[in-house]
Structure 1
């Protein structure tokens, strides 16, 4: 009688595991938290990359360009599909890579850090010399 009860408890524990455990795969679409932004994180070779898939400015003008970029040569790139995260490796809860780019400000960093928080949200950090900036993203519904 003890063995079936133990098996039942083990099964219940597996199915009642918090959602965070199943979200260690960060691929998918993430809400950036500003300007209605959505970034899709996807596999690019053995690493992870991320590209812009939606934003309120893009819904108003789907042909919008990267006009906020500090490099005039890059201002003609389309925002939709623009790769903003490249070469992130690691896991299951932290990844390092770079470069990272924020099309909302035109700022970028050569290296970045992604960390999956216990809440299931994703912290993105980019640093230039000693100055770092972080954003928290949520899975898009």
Structure 2
């Protein structure tokens, strides 16, 4: 089998969890999010951001659930419940936005080994998409 044929087959293979596992820099606020396996799904927690570098003890003050407003942002899970689709996309997940204290439905699409697209929606088509870059 030629090297070209093998490369073509691999290019069409669906992404695995390992494709998105790791640390990612967000498009805004210079945040770093670590994505990991959480049972059969993947989840992600906030490691740092511009605001956290300025105030490491920042709390989740905008959370719509008043009982959670005192939890620290650093280390907080912001991505949860993403399940793999047959095409390598991770969907049916939730994205928590600490800026407005709301949770949105989410979808993660790998864009090769070093980028991913995260889409969060109030309801379709009211969505916002960011491209994140892998941090090594």
TM-score interval, normalised by the smaller of the two chains:
0.7 to 0.9
* Cα drift, residue 117 of structure 1: 1.9
Distance 2:20 2:112 in 1: 13
Q: Across the two proteins, how many residue pairs are aligned to each other?
A: 130
Q: TM-score by structure 1 length?
A: 0.76
**Structure 2 match to 1:10:** 3
Instruction: Confirm or deny: 8 A CA contact 1:95 1:113 kept in the other structure.
Output: yes
Distance 2:66 2:120 in 1: 22
**Per-residue CA shift, 1:21-43, capped at 9, x if unaligned?**
8x851100000121110100000
Looking at secondary structure, tell me which structure has more strand per residue: 2
Structure 2 unaligned residues grouped into runs of 5+: none
Distance 1:62 1:74 in 2: 17
Larger radius of gyration: 1
Q: Among residues 111, 114, 128, which one is paired with 1:133 in the alignment?
A: 128
Distance 1:94 1:34 in 2: 22
What does 1:15-54 align with in structure 2 at a 5 Å threshold?
Answer: 25-54=19-48
Distance 1:119 1:132 in 2: 24
Task: Give RMSD over aligned pairs.
Answer: 2.9
Instruction: Confirm or deny: 8 A CA contact 2:94 2:103 kept in the other structure.
Output: yes
Q: TM-score by structure 2 length?
A: 0.78
Instruction: Confirm or deny: 8 A CA contact 2:83 2:93 kept in the other structure.
Output: no
What does 1:45-124 align with in structure 2 at a 5 Å threshold?
Answer: 45-90=39-84, 93-109=88-104, 111-118=105-112, 120-124=114-118
